[in-house]
Amino acid sequence: DCDVVFLYDHEGETNGSNKTSNSHFFNELSRRIIQLTTGIGIHGRLYEMDGSLRASHQHAPLAISLADYEEYLNSGEVPYWQYQGMCKARVIYGQSESRSRVEAIVREALLHCPA
């Protein structure tokens, strides 16, 4: 399966006539991505995706801001199995500045993982 974490750059709201918070927008987008990739279509399932690497607990939002994720990683509350999952972490989409920041945050968290 494919373990995923959905992060967005910062809090705020979308543009246009139907404005919504970034949190709401990216959580809906994340939910739809998981639904579309894990659903069974005429050719079977595309991927088995697991969103359980999310910050804090299973009932936390699917998508969180990068600042909140960094705060979570520095909280001392990260289960060891999440560190193991982060060892394989790859950023698959985003602006180069954001990708670099995510990679640096994950690298720093892994360097300070409790033994």
Determine what percent of the chain is predicted with pLDDT higher than 90. Answer: 47
pLDDT at 53 over 80: no
Across all residues in the chain, what is the average pLDDT? 89
Of 57, 79, 71, 81, the C-alpha closest to 108 is: 71
pLDDT at 39 over 80: yes
Quick one: average pLDDT of 56-72? 86
Of 73, 64, 81, the C-alpha closest to 103 is: 73
> Model-level pTM?
0.84
The three-state DSSP-derived secondary structure of the chain is CEECCEEECCCCECCCCCCCEHHHHHHHHHHHHHHHHHCEECCEECCCEECCCCCCCCCCCCEEEHHHHHHHHCCCCCCHHHHHHHCCCCCCCCCHHHHHHHHHHHHHHHHCCCC
Torsion-angle region of 47 (φ positive above 0: left; ψ -120 to 50: alpha; else: beta): beta
- Rounded to whole angstroms, the Cα distance separating 18 from 110 reads 39
At residue 60 the predicted structure's pLDDT band, cuts being 50, 70 and 90, is confident
Q: Which CATH architecture has domain 2-111?
A: 2-Layer Sandwich (3.30)
Least confident of 5-9, 23-27, 80-84, 104-108: 80-84
**Residue ranges covered by each domain of the chain:** 2-111
